[in-house]
Amino acid sequence: MQLIQESDNYTKERYIAFIDENTQIEICKYPVLFGYRLRAGYTETINSLGFYEIDICCGQSKEMFDILFNKIVSIIKNNPKDDVFKGIPVFSKIKPYYNDQDFLTKIENLLEK
């Protein structure tokens, strides 16, 4: 899976990846009032319904965003092509994500697979 940076008028950091000839996903840094969210989903669903498979609060730290971004990309690469978001929590219960120990444990467990 290769990430390709796309131009985007709002997020400025939007990437797409082709899972196969019929499946494309997007991963983006989405700025909000108190920092950033990491959002990712199937392009077709995002465009038609505005629905993301994952939407995680990263707080104000770009470094913490980058750490999670790299972990999520690694998980997606290792997941089956027919369900690239399998097992990834949709969001953390405690915001930002790095304050949620259960969320961090789930992410680390997925990385170990």
Q: How many residues are recorded in the chain?
A: 113
| 107 exposure class (CB count in 10 Å sphere: 0-12, 13-18, 19+) | buried
- pLDDT value at position 27? 94
Mean pLDDT for the chain overall: 92
Quickly count: other Cβ atoms within 10 Å of residue 50's Cβ: 8
* Distance between CA atoms of residues 94 and 96, nearest Å: 6
Q: What is the pLDDT of residues 35-61, one digit of tens each?
A: 999 999 999 999 899 899 999 999 999
- The Cα 26–Cα 16 span in angstroms is 4
**Domains of the chain: total:** 1
Q: Which domain holds residue 98?
A: 3-112
Q: Tokens 């990712």 appear where?
A: 40
13: pLDDT strictly greater than 90: no
Tens of pLDDT along 65-87? 999 999 999 999 999 999 999 99
